[in-house]
Amino acid sequence: MKLDHVVSIKQFSDKALLDELFKSASEIQAMDPSQYPKPLQNRTLATIFYEPSTRTRLSFETAIQNLGANLISTENAGEFSSAIKGESLEDTIMTINAYADGIVIRHPEVGAAKRAAAVSKVPVINAGDGAGEHPTQALLDAYSIYKAKGKIDGLKIGLVGDLLNGRTVHSLMPLLSGFDVEFYLVSPPSLRMPEEYLKVLEEKNIKYTELDNWQDMLGQVDVLYMTRVQKERFANEADYIKVKDDFILTMEQVKQMKSDAIIMHPLPRVNEIDVAVDADPRAYYFEEVRNGLFMRMALLNYVYTSK
């Protein structure tokens, strides 16, 4: 199956495709860097980020160069690209088409990557579109779960935090709902998972429980996926302050968890996970970061080699 663009996690509902990506990421992860495939040799890829990023941008830029391509990059594109002069996203994308064989884009508006893909002749990869989706994070998260637990079927998964605005869970939950999983959705009442995503679970007959506290679920879950309250999506700071510290994971909670559970977080964390948790063997978030590089290499390799 050919992937022209990577815009939504809906493009990954085919289990064979997901299996192939897991396998490829794991093969690349086991390789000596001198053996990395070079499908992007003599090509140029562009990263254009209109929102802050550490991991997504740097891992894509590492992946792009590891696979042999040249890199051109605009960080803080809202300020440093011609967007500030009033250029449309479409014109910017058509311009980058003149230089690059692929575009990795992060943008504050929901649907921006889809708009970019609509005018781009080269692959567009969505690195986060506002509170919409973050499909490549979901791929690396699913790969991380698969690596740690050896399976996805049968797992109980807790998604905690800002389920309203967090784009990582908007991609991860639909992806995992292709498996036989059960969800606990834990958030302040004002930050519940939007209906459109819950509908997908209902259509697929996936069991889920919405909670505004985590007492009873901590001991149940195999995967605890923490998220940051997305300050930048709040209209006023007072509303953010009201909910920002509702779920803080400390060793007190971790002690209630299963001994073989894993704790994940797409990062950055603000204070949702106490640093004392980092030393616990269940803390998996920095390994998750590392897995992300290899999943992004596998994905780019797939986009440029599949027919």
| Footprint on residues 128-167 left by ligand NCD (CB under 6 A) | 128, 134, 137, 167
Closer of 66 and 168 to ligand NCD (Cβ): 168
Cβ at position 60, least distance to ligand NCD in Å: 10
Dist. CA 32–CA 50, nearest whole Å: 34
At 68, phi and psi to the nearest 5? 100, 0
Does 233 qualify as catalytic in the annotation? no
> Among 266, 277, 285, 295, which residue sits at the site for ligand NCD (rule: CB under 6 A)?
266
The string of DSSP letters for 49-86 reads ESS--SHHHHHHHHHHHHTT-EEEEESSHHHHSGGGGT
Closer of 5 and 296 to ligand NCD (Cβ): 296
Contact flag: residue 123 with ligand NCD (CB under 6 A): no
Does 85 qualify as catalytic in the annotation? yes
Does 115 qualify as catalytic in the annotation? no
Contact flag: residue 59 with ligand NCD (CB under 6 A): no
Largest distance between two CA atoms of the chain: 55
At 45, phi and psi to the nearest 5? -115, 150
Contact flag: residue 57 with ligand NCD (CB under 6 A): no
Closer of 126 and 301 to ligand NCD (Cβ): 126
Per-residue DSSP letter, 101:
S
| Footprint on residues 178-237 left by ligand NCD (CB under 6 A) | 228
Q: Which helix (H) or strand (E) holds 38?
A: none
Residue 224, beta-bridge partner list: 158, 263
Q: Of 3, 92, 10, 11, nearest to 50 (Cα)?
A: 92
Residues forming contacts to ligand NCD in the complex (CB under 6 A) are 55-56, 128, 134, 137, 167-168, 228, 266-268
